[in-house]
Amino acid sequence: MKITDGTAGQRESFTALKPGGKKLSIAIDTLSRAFTSKSSGVTTDPQQQIAELRRELELMRERQDLLMQIDAATRVATEPAEIAYHAARLLCRHLQANRCAYAEVDSDQDGLTVIGDFTDGLPSMVGSYTLHQFSNSAYDLLTAGKPFVVQDAETDPSCATGIETFRAAGVRSTISYPLMKDDRLTAILAIHCVQPRRWHPEEIALVASIATRFWESIERGRVLRALKAEREELHRKSTESERQHAELQTIYDTAPIGLAYFDPEDYQYLRLNERQAAFFGLKPAEIVGKTLTEMAPIPGLRELFDQVADGQPVINFPLEGSLVTDPTEYRYWTVSYFPVYGPDGVLQGISAASQEITQQKKVEKALIQAEKLAAVGRLAASIAHEINNPLEAVTNLLYLARVSDDVKEVRDFLQTADVELRRVSAITAQTLRFHRQSSSPQEADTSALINEILNIYQGRLHNSRAQLSTRLRAKRSLRCFDGEIRQVLANLIANALDAMNAAPGRLAIRTREATRWSTGERGIVFTVADTGSGISEETIKRLFEPFFTTKGTVGTGLGLWVSKEIVVRHRGTLLLRSSQSPEHHGTVFAVFLPFEAVVR
C-alpha cells in the first residue's frame, strides 16, 4: 500500500484499511496528525515518520485482531467464568502479562469476587477479596470510575498500606479498570505483572476497550442464561401443567361419582364426566348444552341451584326422583353443589358431585323388611302363648255349653267364649301392625303404642319375672309412621328383656314431652331402661352397625341399625347410656321424636 501526502493519500489509506473496521479510524487520525505535523515542520525525516506510522498501523491492526478474537471467543459462551477465561487469556498474551483477572464487585463497593482469570507464571486468584486489602487509593479511584494504574508497587506510595497483599499475589505492576453501572462500581478487569512496568496510554486504552467488551459479553451471557432458564422453567411449568391437566382429566373422567359443571344463569350443562352421563344412559356430548331441569325434572332441584347461585353450597343432600330418560324408575342420589367464583369474585359456574344410592336404598328397604319379619318371628312364641290361653278357654267353654241343658248357663258360656275370641283377635291385629305400613304419617297416641307392645310381650314379661314399671306422661299425639315407631319401641323392649334373661330385673318405660335444646323443637322422649348386665364400651361403638350382634345365631344384627334409620327419618335421635358396674348396672335407651315428623 502506498501512502501519499494530502487528503487523497489519507482517503486511499482509509479505503485500503476498511476491512479492519472503525478502530482503524484511530490510525487514520494519527496519519492525519502526522502529515499535519510534517506540514508544520515538526518532523524533518519523512522516512522515519512513515516507519513510525507503519508501526502504529501494525499495532492498531494487532489490537483490532485481538478485539475480533475476543469477540469470537466470547460470542458463544454464556457462563461468566468461561467468558472471563477466554478474554483474559487473549488479553494477557497480547500484553505479555502474567495474569489477567475479572472480578465482580459486591453491593458494598468494597468486597469483590474473582470469577475467572488466566495466568502465566502466577497462581490463580479466583476467590473473594476487598479493595481495601490492596490500597485505599484503589478503592477511591475505582469507585469513582477511574483506572488504578501501578508501575511498581514497591515504590508507589498508593500501594504502601496493602503492599503485603500485592506481594502475596505476586503483583509488581497492574492496570485495574472499573466497570460502572448506574454510577456504581460493579466489576473490575485487572492486568498483573511480576515485574515493574511502564504502562503506555495505548495499553490502558486497550484494557478499557476490552473491559467494555468484557462487560457486554458477561451481561449478554447473563441475559442468555436468564432467557434459557426462563424458557426451561416455562417448558417445565408447561409440561407439569399438561401432566396435571391430564391427571385431573383422567380422574374427572374415571371418577366413580357423577361430576358436572353448570352455567350459573340458566343452569346449562357445560361439562360432565362419563359417570354423570351414565345416569341418563347417554354420552356427555349428548347432554352438554341442555338445562338441569330438562334432564332431571325433580321437584325442588332448581330451588337447590338457586340457593347455590346465592352463595350457599349444598352438601350431601339426599335427592330423589325420576330422570327424563326413564321417568318410570324412582331413583336416589346424594348430591353436593358448590358455587365457583372467578378471580374478580363473580360467580362463574356451579360444580356438582352426585353419587347414586338407588341400589343401596333398595338393599336398606329389603333389610328393614327382613328385620320386620324377624321381629314378627321373635314375637311368635309370645303370641302363641297369648293366643293359646284364650283358645283353651274357648274350647272348654264350648264343651260346657254343649253338655249343659241350662239355656242361661249356655248363654253365659258363649258370652265368655266371645270375650276370649275378641282377645285373640286383638292380639292378632296388633301383630299384623308390625308389618303393615301406612303410606302417609298418622296421628299416633304414644300411650296406646306402648300398651299395644306390652300386651304382645305379656307372656315374656311373666316368664322372665321382670318387674315392669311404666310412667306415660306424654299427652300430645305424635305425627309419624306408627308402624315404624312401634317397630322401634318393640325392638328396644325385646332387647331389654333379653338383657335380663340371666336374672330377674326391672324394666322401666317412660314417655314425656320435651324440648330438643339444640334446635328448640318440641317433641316426645321415649325411655326404655333395664337392669341387665350392661353394654361394654367396645360394643357400644359398633352397636348400630348392620349385622353386628351379641346374640350369636339368635340375632340378625339389624334391629338397632334399622331402629336408628327409622328414628333419623323421623328427624329424631336415638341415644343410650350403659353401665357394667356391680352396684349400678343396666342400659337406658332414649328416643326423641318431634311432634311433626318429616313426611317421606
Query: Which residues does residue 549 pair with via DSSP β-bridges, in sequence order?
Result: none
Same domain membership, residue 103 and residue 54: no
Same domain membership, residue 422 and residue 278: no
Same domain membership, residue 494 and residue 386: yes
Show the 3-state SS of 177-217.
EEEEECCEEEEEEEEEECCCCCCCHHHHHHHHHHHHHHHHH
Q: How many domains does the chain have?
A: 4
Q: For residue 419, what is the domain's CATH number?
A: 3.30.565.10
Name the residue range of residue 19's domain: 6-69
- Please report, to the nearest 10 degrees, the dihedral formed by the alpha carbons of residues 36, 37, 41, 45 taken in order: -110
Same domain membership, residue 406 and residue 551: yes
* Number of helices (H), then strands (E), in the chain: 19, 18
Q: Would 539 be classed as within a structural domain? A: yes
Q: Give me the pLDDT at residue 582, please.
A: 85
Q: Quick check: 441 and 598 in contact, CB under 8 A?
A: no
Q: Would 84 be classed as within a structural domain? A: no
| Rounded Cα–Cα distance for residues 383 and 459 (Å) | 8
Q: Would 309 be classed as within a structural domain? A: yes
Q: For residue 125, what is the domain's CATH number?
A: 3.30.450.40
Same domain membership, residue 367 and residue 343: no
Same domain membership, residue 380 and residue 273: no
Q: For residue 313, what is the domain's CATH number?
A: 3.30.450.20
Among the candidates 300, 323, 356, a domain finishes at 356
| Rounded Cα–Cα distance for residues 176 and 287 (Å) | 76
Same domain membership, residue 26 and residue 124: no
Same domain membership, residue 371 and residue 445: yes
Q: Would 249 be classed as within a structural domain? A: no
Same domain membership, residue 512 and residue 399: yes
What spatial distance separates the first Cα and last Cα of the chain, rounded to whole Å? Answer: 113
Q: Would 234 be classed as within a structural domain? A: no
Q: Would 543 be classed as within a structural domain? A: yes
Among the candidates 206, 221, 237, a domain finishes at 206
Q: Quick check: 345 and 359 in contact, CB under 8 A?
A: no
Q: Would 225 be classed as within a structural domain? A: no
Residue by residue, pLDDT tens for the chain (600 residues) are: 333 333 333 333 333 333 334 444 444 444 444 444 444 444 557 777 777 777 667 667 767 777 777 777 666 666 666 766 777 788 888 888 999 888 889 999 999 999 888 888 899 999 999 999 998 999 999 999 999 999 999 999 999 989 999 999 999 999 999 988 888 998 898 999 999 999 988 888 888 887 777 777 667 767 777 888 888 999 999 999 889 888 888 888 888 899 999 999 899 999 999 999 999 999 999 999 999 989 999 999 999 999 999 999 999 999 999 998 988 889 999 999 999 999 998 999 999 999 999 888 888 777 777 766 666 665 565 566 567 667 877 887 787 888 888 888 888 888 888 877 877 777 677 666 555 556 678 888 989 889 888 877 777 787 777 889 999 999 999 988 887 888 889 889 888 888 887 778 899 999 999 999 888 899 999 999 999 888 888 888 888 877 777 776 556 666 788 888 889 888 999 999 999 888 888 999 999 999 987 554
Q: Quick check: 587 and 576 in contact, CB under 8 A?
A: yes
Which residue's C-alpha cell is 297369648?
Answer: 386
Q: Give me the pLDDT at residue 378, please.
A: 59
Residue of 105, 195, 104 whose CA lies nearest to 150: 195
Among the candidates 356, 383, 402, a domain finishes at 356
Same domain membership, residue 399 and residue 318: no
- Which residues make Cβ contacts (< 8 Å) with residue 139, sequence separation at least 6? 109, 110, 131, 132
Q: Would 78 be classed as within a structural domain? A: no
DSSP labels for 379-395? Answer: HHHHHHHHHHHHHHHHH
Same domain membership, residue 537 and residue 406: yes
Same domain membership, residue 344 and residue 290: yes
Q: Give me the pLDDT at residue 430, please.
A: 61
